[in-house]
Structure 1
Amino acid sequence: MITSDKKIAIMDNTLREGEQTAGVAFSKEEKIDIALKLDQAGVDYIEAGFPAVSEQEFNIIKKVNSLGIKAKIMALARTSKADVDLVYEAGCHGVTFFIPTSEILLKAKSNMSGIEPQKLIESSIEAVDYAKRRNLYVAFGAEDSTRTDFEFILRMYKAVIDAGADIVAVVDTVSRLTPVDTYNMVKEMKERLGGAPISTHLHNDFGMATANTVSAVMAGADQIQTTINGLGERAGSPSLQECVMAVKELTEYDFNHINTHIFKELSNMIIKYSGVNFSPLMPIVGENAFSHESGLHASAVLNDPKSYEPFSPDLVGTQTKFIIGKHTGKNIVKHILEKTFHIDEISQEMLQSVVKEVKEKGSSARLNYDDVFKIYSDIKRRNKNV
């Protein structure tokens, strides 16, 4: 595969969007740990929170800014000078503006019902101009932009870019995009805005957040927004781990600046701090992501891991696991006894006896490597007593 030299930036939203997951609230210490680990992972931007929420939130964001990390710290703001002032006073590198633009959101928000579209553009220009005069990097997103008239979004984005916005985003607030839609929207937006930098803020209501993010990258997006483990409102956001590995493995683009080797560690940290447990089937870092039970599959993996693994588990800080059960074959039993318990000489008769008993017990209970060794030891002892 021919690779592209273009660097795709990552803005991780775990500390803000991720904390909006139902039932999740990170402590100050946890937010600091997460920020430090994200920096170790090499993400370009960290959205640390929404300072207008509370004095406590403001102080936490200010603390994150004092850590001296390489990632650039961003904070969320409405298009108001007061919100910009809080972002600036917290010491952030930049501001992430949001303003609702779809008819349904404008009607649903009582303070914005009936507002004229031009007023939205004017308030956006004023906010961007004010932020730039504060020397802030400006990321601008029209909330629910995928349910807003596209021509209006283009007009708004051209206006804020002219006012100094550094990047504008496709914001798919309630997941109205398919991968094809995402590709077409990003590509057309990129072309009609004269190549201006494009970001994505997507959601996972239909399980397509990762696929849509990959499509956006392929269409020319310059930045993607993610969360660890895909935390976020409702069904969540694009997963940092999934997006990075999918882009690396499936497209011409890469994330060479991202330290993927700590992805499993990062995932475990978020599970611990959020209290949100994920399915073992979660891609990339889930418990089953590199697990094998079927005898034929497991044997093939022993011969060549690429046969049934999309990439080396070492790349994301995990390892191949063989699950012991009714589908386990003799090659895996032999491998476990030899490599884990250092049993060098196993007769075919003994091996067949162990496999038979493993399959029988594995039909009603999940076994582990120690169980295999115990079965082996019990059979060996019984044979001696015959």
Structure 2
Amino acid sequence: MSKRTIEIMDTTLRDGEQTSGISFSASEKLTIARLLIEELEVDRIEVASARVSEGEFEAVKNIINWAKENEYLNRVEILTFVDAGKSIQWMKDTGAKVQNLLTKGSLNHLKYQLKKTPEQHFNDVKETFALAQKEGIINNIYLEDWSNGMRNSPEYVYQFLDFLCTQPVKRVLLPDTLGVLIPSETYTYLAQLRSKYPNLHFDFHAHNDYDLGVANAIEGLKAGVNGLHLTMNGMGERAGNAPLASVIAVINDHLPDVTTRVKEVALYKVSKLVETFSGFKIPANKPIVGDNVFTQTAGIHADGDNKHNLYFNDLMPERFGRKRKYALGKTSGKANIEKNLQELGLKLSPEDIKKVTQKIIKLGDKKEVVTQDDLPYIISDVLDSKLYTNKVKIKSYVLNHAKGLSPSATVAIKIEDEVIEEHAQGDGQYDAFINALGKVYKQKNKVLPKLIDYAVRIPPGSNSDALCETVITWKTEVKEFVTRGLDSDQTVSAIKATEKMLNIIEQ
């Protein structure tokens, strides 16, 4: 079966920039334009609206100069207006060669916004096209509010398209401007136009107000449209536009007779760069590009993947330049731990895996986020705990730190079968804790080792709300030794390291 190649026009730099609070700098626009065309290999990009600002003018000039040098000029498009040639002059000054002329695709918009008759509007469009042709500019045309036009004034839409069949227009761009369509309507309306106007090139432009942007775009392809307008990360006004990554994945997996030139493997890379430049945060569960969408959380899923990839689907992360992950938390099972150990090149005994799993579940119950970067620290803590028996137990403690008062600590220590309680002050909470501990051991006629180094580490790449490791170096009369404590709280991790020290000196 021969596949029909459709055009993908990315409008992140124009419609996407209409996301509330978003504004790209000129250099950011140029970088994104280059990535869209050279990395993702979209067919066309819409980069700006004419006459918006001086900054926009300079940004477009930069993009146009780059496009000229690389023979991409006819792939860069500008939104223009029916404004007696002002937009055409603006384009001429930038060097741009493709206009997307904004016109009225519904009788309501024409009647109440422009207050003109169809004939008057068509004549204005004709004059704008003629001016563009004179300057060597290619004509595309938006029928704004086309979807409501098909619902409420289809005769007007047909009248407009009949007129366009007589004009020098390359593409007719059909936007669901307010995101009102459902998939069945999208298919019906577009199939009607495809049948009635077989020689016109139709692009469909979906908005996502009902979260139906992807579904509507796919129905548009089934109805026979020639191109789609999409944005990175679904950016756009209100609820945004149909997202590029999701639509491309659906086309590749579910439309065997349709293909695009877009390179899937670059989707995530470009998506993250656009997120960085825009400050528009990608939801963690956003298909294809969200942080969590290739992360298995339930242990049973990791177990199934280990045995026969039972929880894989066609959306393999490698397609998009990503990797599958296995979350570590309270729902983690042994299989999740094993998958992460494989990634790190580590191997533990079944008994040690069980202990590590219990530690991770305990952290998960405290709502701590555990990452693969934390795993070596957890393993170290668990294995280190096996080196001695707990003859000494820190049963309880209270740490106080109030403005104007010295930090203080009250501790209760169980040494074999005896519980001893003491209170002390110090320069900080942990210092007060050590001073109280010193009083306990003075009662036992024992001297604590000297603390000679104290270091706190957060696992590289981890989250500061997950784990920190406190590493303390101690010195007795005969040796130096190190103990480690692991916890989400820095002081608690130091106390855990101290408890290990107490058990070592008891032995």
Counterpart residue identity of residue 129, structure 1: A
Contact 1:199 1:223 (8 Å CA) reproduced: yes
| Deviation of 1:103 (Å) | 4.3
Counterpart residue identity of residue 360, structure 2: V
Deviation per CA, 1:258-310: give whole Å up to 9, x if none.
12212111111111111111210111110011111101112223445573343
Question: Does 1:349 find its partner at 2:342?
Answer: no
- The whole-number CA distance in structure 2 between the counterparts of 1:156 and 1:359 is 64
Contact 1:50 1:58 (8 Å CA) reproduced: no
Q: Which residue of 1 aligns with 2:436?
A: none
Counterpart residue identity of residue 86, structure 2: A
Q: Which residue of 2 aligns with 1:14?
A: 12
Q: Which residue of 2 aligns with 1:44?
A: 43
| Deviation of 1:22 (Å) | 0.7
Contact 1:146 1:176 (8 Å CA) reproduced: yes
- The whole-number CA distance in structure 2 between the counterparts of 1:178 and 1:213 is 10
- The whole-number CA distance in structure 1 between the counterparts of 2:217 and 2:310 is 25
Contact 1:125 1:159 (8 Å CA) reproduced: no
- The whole-number CA distance in structure 2 between the counterparts of 1:108 and 1:18 is 27
Residue of structure 1 aligned with 2:217, choices 190, 213, 218: 213
Name the stretch that deviates more: 346-355 or 145-154: 346-355
Contact 2:275 2:281 (8 Å CA) reproduced: yes
Aligned pairs for 1:38-187 within 5 A: 38-40=36-38, 41-67=40-66, 68-69=69-70, 71=72, 72-80=75-83, 81-106=85-110, 109=113, 112-113=114-115, 115-148=116-149, 149-187=153-191
Q: Which residue of 1 aligns with 2:273?
A: 269
- The whole-number CA distance in structure 2 between the counterparts of 1:136 and 1:306 is 54
Contact 2:282 2:289 (8 Å CA) reproduced: no
Q: Which residue of 2 aligns with 1:298?
A: 302
Q: Which residue of 2 aligns with 1:308?
A: 312
- The whole-number CA distance in structure 2 between the counterparts of 1:5 and 1:337 is 43
Contact 2:24 2:277 (8 Å CA) reproduced: yes
Deviation per CA, 1:76-120: give whole Å up to 9, x if none.
1112422123223322231101112434434553xx13x112212
Question: Does 1:5 find its partner at 2:6?
Answer: no
Counterpart residue identity of residue 285, structure 2: L
Match of 1:49, SS? Answer: strand
Question: Does 1:376 find its partner at 2:379?
Answer: yes
Distance 1:265 1:338, change over 3 A: closer
| Deviation of 1:210 (Å) | 1.2
- Computed over aligned residues only, the root mean square deviation of the Cα atoms, in angstroms, reads 1.9
Distance 1:55 1:366, change over 3 A: closer
Counterpart residue identity of residue 128, structure 2: A
- The whole-number CA distance in structure 2 between the counterparts of 1:378 and 1:156 is 73
Counterpart residue identity of residue 131, structure 2: Y
Aligned identity (percent) is: 25
Contact 2:26 2:58 (8 Å CA) reproduced: no
Contact 1:290 1:309 (8 Å CA) reproduced: no
- The whole-number CA distance in structure 2 between the counterparts of 1:182 and 1:164 is 26
Question: Does 1:251 find its partner at 2:251?
Answer: no
Structure 2 stretches of 5 or more lacking a match? 390-507
Deviation per CA, 1:223-259: give whole Å up to 9, x if none.
1111111111111111111111111111124545212
Contact 2:46 2:77 (8 Å CA) reproduced: yes
Aligned pairs for 1:356-371 within 5 A: 356-364=358-366, 365-371=368-374
Match of 1:162, SS? Answer: coil
Contact 1:39 1:69 (8 Å CA) reproduced: no
TM-score (norm 1): 0.92
- The whole-number CA distance in structure 2 between the counterparts of 1:69 and 1:304 is 47
Counterpart residue identity of residue 50, structure 1: S
Q: Which has the larger radius of gyration?
A: 2
Counterpart residue identity of residue 60, structure 1: A
Aligned residues: 379
Contact 1:16 1:48 (8 Å CA) reproduced: yes
- The whole-number CA distance in structure 1 between the counterparts of 2:55 and 2:359 is 59
